[in-house]
Structure 1
Amino acid sequence: MHLFAPRSFRGTIVAATVGLTTLAMVVVVLGIQLVLEYTAQRDIEQVLRDRSQAMVTIVQRASSERLTVPADLLEPGMVVYDDTGERVAGSVESNVRELADSLGASDRPRGVQGPGDEEQLLATPFTTPSGDSGVLVVSQETGPYERSERYAMLATIVLALLVIGATAVIALKVTTQALKPVTRMADRAADWSEHDLTHRFDLGPPTNELAALGETLDHLLDRVASAIRSEQRLTSELAHELRTPLTAIQGSADLALLRGVEDEAVREDLRQISASARDMAGVITTLLDAARDSTATGRACRVADVVPGLVAIVADRVEVVDRTAESSARIAAPADLVVRAAAPIVDNAVRHARRRVVIEATDHPDRVELVVRDDGEGVDASVREHLFEPGVSGRSRGAGLGLGIARRLARSFGGEVDLDPPAHGGASFRIRLPRR
């Protein structure tokens, strides 16, 4: 049903204008046709009455002693009947002769339509000065009137089509001209969002609706840029404050391990402390880079630029099956940011896989889908609905932060990360990346 729906505001306006004009023209054509039909019928009836009245007057004047019909004055299509219904004089077309004979016995004026609506008849009773009664039946051909109606209707339809076409052209030109500044503003805003948020429309004082819209958007861009700068500043400060103690913790743990610890349990605890501090530092770095890249993107990449970074995460821990060669679409995000978004998914698959991790890519009209699948035990049903929330983990150890960060990073450039429905063996994560 939405297949032929307009895809732009301009198309909607033009379609609505043409639709209303078409509806109005249909009403006008039907109205004109009804008026013409009514007028033609009234003219036919008036002609029949006038002819009948004129002939009755002639017959009455000529019939001072008995019913007399002047044959030289009787027009074609007229028949006079006496009071018994017998034809006295005149003739009509053969196709309405029987109908005229039935009207010859009428005792009051009566009009009827002939067979096929090609002729119309009118019976007019009269009385002569001598006291004789009779009926005059007059026929009138309706073909010329109907032809006039058809010609008028055809001309009206052609005129209506011309009006509709002219309306469509005018509406298209007017809306194109009126919306051209809006199109330019949208193009500029899209370019600025990718490269620089410091630009403004600067349309001047709000003397019209578009200038007022430009001023409103300028204020909105000011607030957005201010919010982004505040977020970046806060993220940088937090990263700096957190990196220092984490570096100290990791350094102390590594130094203690280098000095040598005889107790195996203590050595394992120190290794865990060092690894956790290193992981937390990586998380902080990733979030900081994502906050910076959210306003500095403008670059694009392809799946082929992303896969090497993902394969490097796997290293030699399991077998990697790369099925991304068919993908050639451009992704609307830099390769390093896409790698950071997909890295927790790949790392999760490696930790759960038995022997193999499969990476697939499929191009769609509006997105590129990257699927990471492992051959492990799959995801517990108890945590599927909350898997991307912080603190939730499946069968593996860990705090469960990686998948939530992956989704957050994907959403930062318009993507999404989801867990596919359960299949036979393993888990499958689907990363949707916006196309350029």
Structure 2
Amino acid sequence: MKRPFPLPIRLRLTLWYLVVLGLLLLLFAGFLYLQLQRTLFNQMDTALELAAVQAQVMVVEQDGRLAFQSTPNSQTLSRRLDDDFAISLLSDSGELLDQLTSDDDIPLILPSGAGPFTLADRAEMWRSYNLPVGLPGSNQTGWLQVSQELEPVQDTLAAFRNQILLGLPLALLLAGLGGYFLAGRALRPMDRMTQTAQASSGQDLSKRIQHQGPADEIGRLAQTFDAMLDRLESAFRREQQFTGDAAHELRTPLTALKGQLEVTLSRPRQVADYQNTLQAMSQQVERLIHLSSSLLYLSRLEQDQLPLSPEIIIVADFFNALLDQIRPLAQEKSIQIHTNISADLQFHGHLDLLIRLFLNLLDNAIKYTPVNGRITLKAATALPNIIITLHNNGQPIPPEHLPHLFNRFYRAEAARTRTETGSLQGAGLGLAIAQEIAKIHQGEISVTSQPKAGTTFIVTLPATAV
């Protein structure tokens, strides 16, 4: 179930930051509190132990029992003791034998062993140190118990707790304000992404984030978003150009059909005239059929909707079969076809698609090669690929047309002036289809053309081990 009012990510980041920081500060403050408590108790135990050792030298035997020797030092020590400090001398049974203190209301307990311990008396807490005592040559033994009230330690710990309770919320408040500010700065590119996405549409994809910050996660996301918009803008432009070119290509034969019909129907004619008109219209309809079939074929290629069955293809056998089909066209123009193909080459691909690719390239080579010209077909290994080059010595392609040859419906000016005998080549879809077939095989097609040298198409396809 969705929240009715989801918190902004900036606020959520700040709250999570405060929760984690608060837990860390609590753990750290608790650690400091325990360390301070341990240090204060250790200091108190050391002072009590020292006082017990000093008081031990004043223990004597009087009237068959242990007591503190009455000396100027002991009297001075007794007067210097305050209300929260006492030195008591106990028998083995826990009886109070003597005491140096200014306060008689001090709790006593029969020691169970030497060392420090804590005892409580109503609302007061005391820290005591027990030291066993005995006199040389005497059977009297007992315990020296030095006690000090824990109120100073408790006051120090309470003051530390109050500082934590007051400082921790203030620290979290300042950290929250800083975290909210930093989260806002970190997420600012995302706000620009949102604004850019909202401002982008099919009519205008020129907006960009243009992130100028570091190449961190947000920076890389902004760069990826800009790159995506570049690809979308390019794709939209290609689709718009494709739509316009397709409409233009379809309008030409349709206009011709309409003109022929109107001229034929403008007045009564002989049967032969009607037959000639129908034959001309049949050619235009054939052109429309070829054009629509090519468009459908290209669309299926781009969307991977064609049934494909890859297989191992021997390169030499493959091109020998293609050349057998294309040689009659070459012989009509007395074109010589030379080949240089290694017998051990093979690639893994879709036979029907590759036949269409190379037949299209060979057909174009024959069309643009002059009479008595020459075509050279080579295939060589350049691991991990096979490089197939198709060269003809015909009229070179102007340099400004080379980057656009594989665009749909694109035709160089020389191609527009020739007599179009086939709808596929005339519509400018043949090389676009060839490029898509190469992409399906993880390959590519490139073209070079130089004056007096001719034109070379280079097809790169992944090789398969023999």
TM range (shorter): 0.3 to 0.5
Q: Please report the TM-score for the alignment, with normalisation by the length of structure 2.
A: 0.42
State which structure, 1 or 2, has the greater radius of gyration over its C-alpha atoms. Answer: 2
Q: Higher strand proportion, which one?
A: 2
Q: Please report the TM-score for the alignment, with normalisation by the length of structure 1.
A: 0.45
